[in-house]
Amino acid sequence: MQRFGFGTETLLSAIVLGGVCYCIWHLFTYHYLPQPFFYEPDDLFADWFNTAYWSRDPGTYDAWKTVYPPISFVFLRLFGIASCYPNRRSYAGDGGFGLAARGCDWVGMSTLFGVYFLNLFLIYRVFRKWDRPTALQRTICLGMGLPMLDGLERGNLVLVSFSLLLLALGPLVRSARLRWLCAGLAVNFKVYLIAPVLALLIKRKWRWVESALISTVLVYLFSYALLGRGWVVEIYDNILFFANIPATNILDFWYSTTYEALVSLMEGGIFPFILLIGSRNLTLALFVISFLQHLTQAMIALAVAATWLRPEAVSTYRIINLSILMVVVTTEPGGYTMVYFMLFTLLEPWQGWLRKAAIIGCYLLAIPLDYPIDHAADVVRDTYFGHSTEIIEFKVMLGPFIRPLIIMLIAQFLSIQTLREVGRDVWSNGWASRWRFRHDAPILPGLKRPTGPSA
């Protein structure tokens, strides 16, 4: 079976790699990346350089209304050339103030690609320690798959937070204090990463969680003092502001991890779904989507509760993964955030159909291609890569309709697997827990592939 798993993963990784080659060919031929990459080809690396601009503008939290904590802006000010970001008054005012710096700020561009290749190296190191025969295949899936490439194309700080999360919770760093620091930095770059830190409470790692939370607060206060703005109340108000903005365009459903934008479009009547599928089918679709989401959330919660009762029966990386999946299923943090749960899913051994299905789901999510089901519109767009003007055909793709379902299925498969492991342990050893924990134990103690029924 392991030989079959090796062959399956080799085939799937080859498909991912083939998709990457096609995207590169498309970029050099047409000067923009194909769907499902971002629909504005002139917006390449925008998240990085726009954020770098606002790190030097006092209107970060009131004019731009960012939800990023101060560490993001401190980081981009440190790894960037200040002279490439002139005053806001020099621009016409379309909001993309930092885009002009892409041809000037070579330090920022080098840092962006340096972080990406650092991630590739770290991913391979982790998978090589964990399971050497499939290390290359899983590195291709995670490091060269669509979510990571989408983060690179956007220039999103998910790349930085991923490095920090990998160092904090992976098997590469031995120093507990350094791992606490990395955890605090990761949470400050992406606030929702507080979930995998708190998930360690299920494993009774009280000291680790307490130290990581203290690190998070200290990093925030230090970065706030350096930047001079970004108080908690400002960030909270901006989160509420963006949370109350409904989807108003089919482009909001371009590359998402949930059906949130689709449901908003259906309920708001902005897009004529009722004319396409009828009122009864529309009502049924809304019910099925809501049912699947709440079912997935309930299954994750039940698996977490079972792990709390028998923490020795479930691996640490599984409970971390379930906490991340709960965030991704419940909110819409962006397609690139799939790299977090894909990392911990790919730490699963190729054993049992539930874990195999979850791993295959990650490979499917990693394929940087999409299947068109209808024509949407032909638009004229400027491109950054070729500095040209192109006619781009927007299409309605299959991916946005099935990716959220694949994510929910991965969460359900791993939740069922967790319940099976807990049930098997209770059946074999009775209800009395044998759990003994050590405060200094590493998060992922094994440096080789786990084996056994409860691996």
Tens digit of pLDDT at every position of the chain (455 positions)? 444 456 899 999 999 999 999 999 999 999 999 999 998 899 999 999 999 999 998 888 988 888 899 999 999 999 999 989 886 655 544 456 788 889 899 999 999 999 999 999 999 999 999 888 999 999 999 999 999 999 999 999 999 999 999 999 998 998 999 999 999 999 999 999 999 999 999 998 999 999 999 999 999 999 999 999 999 999 888 888 877 776 666 777 788 888 888 887 777 656 666 556 666 777 888 889 999 999 999 999 999 999 998 888 899 999 999 999 999 999 888 889 999 999 999 999 999 999 999 999 999 999 999 998 888 788 898 899 888 888 888 888 888 899 999 999 999 999 999 999 999 988 887 766 555 554 444 455 443 444 443 33
Q: Is residue 437 part of a domain?
A: no
Residue 171: asked if its preceding bond is cis (omega within 30°), the reply is no
What is the number of domains present in the chain? 1
Whole-angstrom Cα Rg for the chain: 22
User: Helix or strand or coil: residue 64?
Assistant: coil
Q: Is residue 439 part of a domain?
A: no
Beta carbons within 8 Å of 92's beta carbon, 6+ residues apart = none
Residues 207-223, buried b or exposed e (16+ Cβ, 10 A)?
Answer: ebbebbbebbeebbeeb
User: pTM for this structure?
Assistant: 0.91
Q: Is residue 450 part of a domain?
A: no
- Domain extent at residue 203: 2-82+100-429
CB atoms within 10 A of CB 447: 12
Q: Is residue 446 part of a domain?
A: no
How far apart are the C-alpha atoms of 34 and 314, rounded to whole Å? 40
Dig out the tokens for 279 from the structure: 């009122």
Q: Is residue 91 part of a domain?
A: no
Dig out the tokens for 301 from the structure: 């919660």
Q: Is residue 452 part of a domain?
A: no
How far apart are the C-alpha atoms of 328 and 287, rounded to whole Å? 20
How far apart are the C-alpha atoms of 334 and 106, rounded to whole Å? 27
Q: Is residue 153 part of a domain?
A: yes
How far apart are the C-alpha atoms of 89 and 87, rounded to whole Å? 5
Q: Is residue 341 part of a domain?
A: yes
Beta bridge partners of 379: 392
